[in-house]
Structure 1
Amino acid sequence: MHRFVRPDGRRALRKRRPDMPASFFAAEARGLAALREAGGLRVPEVYAVGADFIELEDLGESTPGADYFRRAGAGLARQHARRDARFGFAHAGWCGDSPQDNTPDADGHRFFAERRLLPQARRARDAGLLEADDAARVEHVCARLREWIPAQPPVLLHGDLWTGNLHCDARGAPALIDAGAVHHGWAEAELAMLTLFGAPPPCFFAAYAEHAPLARDWRERAPLYNLYHLLNHLNLFGTGYLGRVRAVLRRYG
Structure 2
Amino acid sequence: MPADSARAAIETAIREAVGSGFRLSQCEAARGGCTHETFIVGDGRQRYFVKLDAAAKLPVFAAEAEGLTAIAATGTFRTPAVLGCAADEHYAVLILEHLALRPVLSAEDGARFGQALAALHAHCSERFGWHADNFIGASVQRNTLADNWSQFFVEYRLRPQLAMARAHGFSGTLQKQGERLCERVPALFLDYRPRPSLLHGDLWHGNAGVLADGTPVLFDPAVHYGDREADIAMSELFGGFPSAFHAAYRRCAPLNEGFEQRKRLYSLYHILNHLNLFGRGYLGEATRLATRLNEALGLRHL
TM-score between both structures, scaled by the size of structure 1: 0.92
Aligned residues: 250
- How do 1:18-37 residues align onto structure 2 when only pairs under 5 Å count? 18=54, 20-37=56-73
Letter in 1 for 2:40: R
Pick one of 244, 261, 272 that aligns with 1:231: 272
Pick one of 155, 168, 173 that aligns with 2:197: 155
* Deviation of 1:84 (Å): 0.6
Give, in whole Å, the separation in 1 of the partners of 2:245 and 2:257. Answer: 15
Q: Secondary structure at the match of 1:15?
A: strand
Alignment match, 1:54: 94
* Deviation of 1:214 (Å): 1.9
Pick one of 40, 47, 55 that aligns with 1:3: 40
Pick one of 108, 119, 127 that aligns with 1:67: 108
Distance 1:240 1:20, change over 3 A: farther
Distance 1:203 1:220, change over 3 A: farther
Alignment match, 1:127: 168
Give, in whole Å, the separation in 1 of the partners of 2:230 and 2:48. Answer: 31
Q: Secondary structure at the match of 1:194?
A: helix
Pick one of 46, 55, 80 that aligns with 2:121: 80
Give, in whole Å, the separation in 2 of the partners of 1:35 and 1:161. Answer: 13
* Deviation of 1:142 (Å): 1.5
Query: 1:81, 1:212 within 8 Å by CA — same for their partners in 2?
Result: no
Query: 2:264, 2:293 within 8 Å by CA — same for their partners in 1?
Result: no
* Deviation of 1:211 (Å): 2.1
Letter in 2 for 1:54: L
Q: Unpaired runs of 5+ in structure 2?
A: 1-37, 295-302
Letter in 2 for 1:189: A
- How do 1:58-207 residues align onto structure 2 when only pairs under 5 Å count? 58-62=98-102, 64-128=105-169, 130-149=170-189, 150-179=192-221, 181-207=222-248
* Deviation of 1:46 (Å): 0.4
Q: Unpaired runs of 5+ in structure 1?
A: none
Give, in whole Å, the separation in 1 of the partners of 2:274 and 2:231. Answer: 16
* Deviation of 1:41 (Å): 1.4
Q: Secondary structure at the match of 1:234?
A: helix
Letter in 1 for 2:39: H
Q: Secondary structure at the match of 2:251?
A: helix
* Deviation of 1:18 (Å): 1.1
Alignment match, 2:259: 218
User: Mean Cα displacement is larger for which, 230-239 or 241-250?
Assistant: 241-250
TM-score between both structures, scaled by the size of structure 2: 0.78
Distance 1:126 1:112, change over 3 A: same
Which structure has the greater CA radius of gyration?
Answer: 2
Q: Which has the higher contact order (CA 8 A, sep 6+)?
A: 1
Give % identity.
Answer: 40
User: Mean Cα displacement is larger for which, 70-79 or 138-147?
Assistant: 138-147
Query: 1:117, 1:142 within 8 Å by CA — same for their partners in 2?
Result: yes
- TM-align CA RMSD: 1.8
User: Mean Cα displacement is larger for which, 23-32 or 206-215?
Assistant: 206-215
Deviation readout 1:208-231 (Å, 9 max, x if unpaired): 123224225423421111110000
Deviation readout 1:191-247 (Å, 9 max, x if unpaired): 000111114232212211232242254234211111100000000000000110011
* Deviation of 1:78 (Å): 0.5
User: Mean Cα displacement is larger for which, 195-204 or 113-122?
Assistant: 195-204
Query: 2:107, 2:243 within 8 Å by CA — same for their partners in 1?
Result: no
Q: Secondary structure at the match of 1:144?
A: helix
